[in-house]
Structure 1
Amino acid sequence: MALNIFSNPMNSFVIFLLMLLSYSLPNEVLGRSATLPKSDVELIEFALNLEYLEADYFLNGALGHGLDVVAPNLTGGGPPPIGARIAHLGPLVRDVILQFGLQEVGHLRAIKSTVRGFPRPLLNISSETFGQIIDNAFAFDPYANDINYLIATYVIPYVGLNGYVGANPLLQSVTAKKLVAGLLAAESGQDAVVRAMLYERRYEIVIPYGVTVAEFTDRISALRNKLGRDGLKDEGLVVPKELGAEGKVTGNILSLNKDSLGYPRTPPEILRIVYATGNESVPGGFYPKGANGTIARSYLEH
């Protein structure tokens, strides 16, 4: 004899509640992220540009090959990066950078599991690009040794961190907020590790440039502020005391505002920095043909 689950009043009540929830919960809570608001999708997809950059920079620096070997399914068929090569790193730094690279693979997978995304844009991670970003006066080789690679790495995760801080208040859906919170946590951690490793060597002279590590970070931060064109949102490892935590210290292990909170940046600000042109409509720098996605391409159309 067949069992009638509706014969028990309690069973009927439970089934009624489940049916009610299935109608009342938003699709995103039920795992169908296709219903994300358009603005959430565009902001998350914008972040893909920086995640592609970090993945290929870190993987190539540690292994001598990038996404095309480690996770070719995540490239979307985009072109291989220009100037990518293995860095001359010691065991500790290579270990840290490899971890960063594999973390970026996870970030790409998480983003592409939430939104459709787009193919990897053309990236330029050559020595010439880093020299342009860091200081036009230096023929800077980021792949030469540990300290050069860490200084070059100082350029990248922090910009992604700023983008996630800026995007978070604009997100509408639970799914998008959860994803961005997780990505922000990882990018903040990477930036903190790099800054801590550099802070330990802040007064070391970088050969052959005759400039300390701290001075290098100051120049990079000053350039990013200049390119971003929205005031002070970036600080080096050593700052005037009034800019340190609670106005009491000159050491600046993390770049934070007067309340020790992360600085936000908008997509146009980020594009101005990573293009190294100070103009979100003029590609260059790490993205010689521009970044991908609705937000980035909308500025190129101008």
Structure 2
Amino acid sequence: MTDDTMLADAFEAREKRREERRGFFKALGVAAAVGGTTVAGLRATPASAQSAPSDGDVLNFALNLEYLEAQFYYHAAFGQALPDNLLTGAGTQGTVNGGRMVNFSDDAVRKYAREIARDEMHHVEFLRSAIGGTAVAQPDLDISSDPNGAFSSAARAAGLIGAGQSFDPYANDENFLLGAFIFEDVGVTAYKGASPLISDKTFLEAAAGILAVEGYHAAIVRSTLYAKGINAPSLVQATQKISDARDSLDGPSDDDQGIAPMQIDGQTASNIAPLNEDSIAYSRSTGQVLNIVYLNNMAVDQGGFFPSGVNGAITTSAAS
């Protein structure tokens, strides 16, 4: 399938997707019905404005996300968890459900995975050092391929799998890239959204540095999926569906983007960098980020990839 055909298909389906995306999670209540499967244990929390978080609160929020990314990539690349000495801290230390090494067939993807895994581990180390004694412990994480696990629930909500089926991000190169796609774009928007909340210039510079790295990671994942999608259009379509599912969780805006080609001055172009009309990366609030990782568009304090919630002062998703 050519880029032009992919572009035509993308434009034809766009309006339909926009109508459908808000219906993905309409049944969400105190417990989130995700693709017909109930994600048990989600506690509804009254929506309320939080007081301005401290720099430490913001960095600890980021640390929770880095634990998730680092554990996923480290398992996928090396078949093992992060070292135990990087998991302790304030709050309840949790365990990791799932994760295993991917049997990569594409050597480039294998090496990308190793590089990103190292980077994410270093982010955990750096943030723990920067925060100091109040750094939070790693919370419970679900990075499994269980039929009712977070990856499968997210894939089911996006329409990638059916009821009772599972999505295994460790099964092959393509599934790994789609699993990474779920995280990386969210990480970029999370750091951009959190940056204005940081007052200390040293911490702000560090956050900006991590944001840049997450942007590089997202570009690697999106570029690789785009290249593979030229001969396997279902991969491009899968990113569109994941994007729609994320958009259905984080509020009424329609900012999230897959990798379907776009049109610029009458010419087909790729969409590696998901930007606004001014070519600036968009932001997500902490509540919107938690909407996605909790797989819930309500104000709750646990679920999805964080079955017991995150540690620290910022714990509640937005009522979207």
Bucket of the pairwise TM-score, normalised by the shorter protein: 0.7 to 0.9
Cα offset, 1:172, TM superposition: 1.2
1:258 counterpart letter in structure 2: E
* Number of matched pairs: 252
Quote the residue 1:236 is aligned against.
258
Aligned partner (choices 141, 146, 155) of residue 134 of structure 1: 155
Quote the residue 2:127 is aligned against.
111
Cα offset, 1:98, TM superposition: 1.4
Report the 3-state secondary structure (helix = DSSP H, G, I; strand = E; otherwise coil) of the residue aligned with 2:281.
coil
Quote the residue 1:289 is aligned against.
308
Quote the residue 1:7 is aligned against.
none
Within 5 Å, give how 1:82-231 maps onto structure 2.
82-90=97-105, 91-115=107-131, 116-127=134-145, 128-136=149-157, 137=159, 138=161, 139-205=166-232, 212-231=234-253
Deviates more, 1:226-235 or 1:192-201: 226-235
8 Å CA contact retained: 1:203, 1:212: no
Quote the residue 1:52 is aligned against.
67
Once the two structures are superposed, what CA deviation does each residue of 1:146-170 show, in whole Å capped at 9, x if it has no partner? 0111011100021111011111122
Percent of aligned pairs sharing the same letter: 34
Cα offset, 1:195, TM superposition: 0.5
8 Å CA contact retained: 1:83, 1:126: yes
**Aligned-pair Cα RMSD in Å:** 2.1
TM-score by structure 1 length?
A: 0.78
Cα offset, 1:203, TM superposition: 3.8
Task: Kindly indicate which of the two structures has a greater share of residues assigned to helix.
Answer: 1
Quote the residue 1:277 is aligned against.
296
Cα offset, 1:249, TM superposition: 4.2
Report the 3-state secondary structure (helix = DSSP H, G, I; strand = E; otherwise coil) of the residue aligned with 1:79.
coil
Question: Are 1:63 and 2:75 matched, yes or no?
Answer: no
Q: Closer, same or farther in 2 for the Cα pair 1:247/1:198, shift >3 Å?
A: same
Cα offset, 1:64, TM superposition: 1.1
1:95 counterpart letter in structure 2: K
Quote the residue 2:272 is aligned against.
253
1:129 counterpart letter in structure 2: A
Quote the residue 1:5 is aligned against.
none
Report the 3-state secondary structure (helix = DSSP H, G, I; strand = E; otherwise coil) of the residue aligned with 2:249.
helix
1:164 counterpart letter in structure 2: Y
Report the 3-state secondary structure (helix = DSSP H, G, I; strand = E; otherwise coil) of the residue aligned with 1:295.
coil
Cα offset, 1:282, TM superposition: 4.5
8 Å CA contact retained: 1:124, 1:288: yes
Cα offset, 1:279, TM superposition: 2.3
Report the 3-state secondary structure (helix = DSSP H, G, I; strand = E; otherwise coil) of the residue aligned with 2:169.
coil
Partners of 2:289 and 2:88 in 1: how far apart?
A: 23
Runs of 4+ in 1 over 2 A off after TM superposition: 77-80, 134-137, 245-251
TM-score by structure 2 length?
A: 0.74
Partners of 2:304 and 2:254 in 1: how far apart?
A: 21
Cα offset, 1:84, TM superposition: 1.3
Partners of 1:92 and 1:98 in 2: how far apart?
A: 10
User: Computing the radius of gyration over CA atoms, which structure comes out larger, 1 or 2?
Assistant: 1
